[in-house]
Amino acid sequence: METRSGSDRGSAYDPSTSAPPPEKASLIEDFIDIFYAPSTVFARRANSGFGLTLLIITVLSAVFAFASQSVFAQIFDAEFARGMAKAMAKNPQLTPDMVNSMRPVQEKIASVIVYLGAPLAIFFTSVLVWIATKIVKAKMTFGQSMLVTTLAWIPRLIGGLIGVLMVVLMDTTNFTNRYSLSASPARFMDPDVTNPKLFGLLGSLDVFAIWMTILIGIGIAVVGKVPRNKGYLAAVIVFVVGTLITVAFL
């Protein structure tokens, strides 16, 4: 007897017998089950597409961003002023007019990130997932890496909803940095006095980002048919590399 790779309890099974057909369920059930039975969701969607799930995540994330646009504009103003002040300190030749001429470009980039951040992040994370699966020798295609990452992103929608509730219910006048709406330690730090690299590192320790990392590990184990510890190892690689890339640009 062997141990089923990626199963919740490592139940024994006979490899000579064919696997049972995947359980049928609606997309709505996927969005519910991923919170308490992620292995089941990954198993039944292992060979399915991810397009509709990604579309729903993109739309909902954009709606949450639109609902929080006033705070995002406030955060952008503070971040832009902070960044330009540092740039002028390093390069005295920069004038206020030169700095202000950069603002429209920065605003367009910020708008893309705010409204299309979720699908872009899912794509780049999927690239890291696909690379990590090669390291742990999990048999997954890039499409399956996209599937795992997309499903693992679903709990982050809760983070987006909480952000909207904070905008509606709280005084957000002191929200002046990119992590102000996050569930990370960086939310409570002052970006003006905190080392930028440390600030970015603390920002990566978001509760929902960690939750997503755990789900990615489960998904790699189930879909890639490897032991759970290898799935988690691959997920940690993705998290660490993603964090280092983010911190490197701060």
Residue type (1 letter), 170? M
C-alpha 194: how far from chain center: 24
DSSP readout, the chain? -EEPTT-SS--EE-TTSPPPPPPP--HHHHHHHTTT-HHHHHHHTTTS--HHHHHHHHHHHHHHHHHTHHHHHHHHHHHHHHHHHHHHHH-TT--HHHHHHTHHHHHHHHHHHHHHHHHHHHHHHHHHHHHHHHHTT----HHHHHHHHHHHHTTHHHHHHHHHHHHHHS--TT--STTTTSSSGGGGS-TTTS-HHHHHHHHH--HHHHHHHHHHHHHHHHHTT--HHHHHHHHHHHHHHHHHHHHHT-
pLDDT in tens, 134-162: 999 999 999 999 999 999 999 999 999 99
- How confident is residue 19, by pLDDT bands cut at 50, 70 and 90? very low
- How confident is residue 23, by pLDDT bands cut at 50, 70 and 90? low
Q: Would you say 197 and 188 are in contact if contact means Cβ atoms under 8 Å apart?
A: no
Q: What is the C-alpha to C-alpha distance for residues 82 and 79, in angstroms, rounded to an integer?
A: 5
DSSP readout, 47-92? TS--HHHHHHHHHHHHHHHHHTHHHHHHHHHHHHHHHHHHHHHH-T
2 DSSP β-pair partners = 13
pLDDT in tens, 91-106: 777 777 777 777 778 7
pLDDT in tens, 158-207: 999 998 888 888 878 888 788 888 889 988 888 877 888 888 899 999 99
- How confident is residue 18, by pLDDT bands cut at 50, 70 and 90? very low
- How confident is residue 26, by pLDDT bands cut at 50, 70 and 90? confident
pLDDT at 95: 74
